[in-house]
Structure 1
Amino acid sequence: MTRLVVGPFNRVEGDLEVTLDVDDGHVRSAQVNAPMFRGFEQILLGRDALDALVVVPRICGICSVSQSAAAAAALARAMGVTPPPDGWRVAQLIQATENLADHLTHFYTFFMPDFAREAYRGRAWFEAVHARFKATVGSAARDALPARMAFMQAMGLLAGKWPHTLTLQPGASLESAGHEPGSREHLSVISGTLEVQSGEAVARLKPGETARYAADRPHAIRNNGRGVAQALLVVLHAP
């Protein structure tokens, strides 16, 4: 029996290593380990249990829904909650949708663009790969990115929207281009004061006040006050 340790592989989630036990040319076992310490367990210590639904998805910028689903499942077990059958099915659909989107993400934006680097220019296949998979400008991006966006929108329809928690320091702003036609945003101020601009319309909000405005045009949220401002932001994308 021979043990092979391959790694570290470094991508979005941090370092990974693969351990293979090989016997007579056949892989008898394969294990994936994440040796890089990231400290999410320590971040959660002492916090409200439901904070896991906000903190844990930040483990990965690609598979954040899967991380969120794992946190929700752990909370359900801790609380003795059993999801109804239809709820379980919807959760599986949501994760399957993210899995499909992740295949597009990894293949078109991570894996293949590596082969479009100048280091491979001498290879016979380089020109074709460069034209199709060069990061941001390759022809494949025109098809892959809209397809990935469609999967993300499907996840939003299935899973609903978790409000964005905003904390803006004095003088800070969140400037956004218009989203798809018909989109709207709801901003509720928790503390401090905020100014909201949608197109030419401007509103100033105090704690407890909510602005509902068109988000399919350039819009901005600004903290023009002297103290830190906190708010909840819900983005409602058009169906």
Structure 2
Amino acid sequence: MSFKREGDDPGQLGVLQKRRVADLLANYIPEDEALLLRSGRYACTVCAHRPIFDTLDVLTVHRAGKKHMGSLQRFYGRKRSLQDVAQKQQHEEEVQAEEAAPLLARTRRIARNALLKAAPYSSCCRRTGAPRLSAGPLPFLRVLTAPLCPPRHTEGSSASSLALSQPEALSPERRQALERYLQLRSAGWIQDRSGKWVKDENAEFDSDEDEPPVLLPA
């Protein structure tokens, strides 16, 4: 037997709701299996048709029925499936984040190599990590780099030897050839024994072209 609540006092309504929540907890009914309505009655959230009951005793009797037990199994089956889907989605996001890490490292490495190629090149000092020259003799390199790195002389050297060691002025053709050589070397190209320009295996390139690039404007 139930009685209808009279009046709309918010304080009285709050006290009634707290008491009914305490009744739910006292009867070991999980909060996600029953819903307390504003009218003070109870609704079963497990069953699909959402039956409403006036008292907690009637709700307890309903929960002991076979129909509610069947709905309870399906309810927790759906809940477990949703948890599995959420865990699977979280695992896929973690895997994608791990796969994106090597791509980020590769992008940074390409940017760093591009900055190294854009740095000014000096033929008087060997750049750290630069591709090595071929083992064969390169007379072309010695002729071109001789004007840029004149040999040093001690204070006791004679004036005649100093005059002989002074380099001659570069002609426009030789200067252009030297600029092309330095640009190709800084871009990762080397010369083989026959004097042909080939790609260095230890260098990275932005394109798959097998021919060296043309001389860039100064």
TM-score w.r.t. length of structure 2: 0.20
The structure with more helix, counted as a fraction of residues: 2
Structure with higher Rg: it is 2
Q: Which of 1 and 2 has higher RCO (CA within 8 Å, sep 6+)?
A: 1
The structure with more strand, counted as a fraction of residues: 1
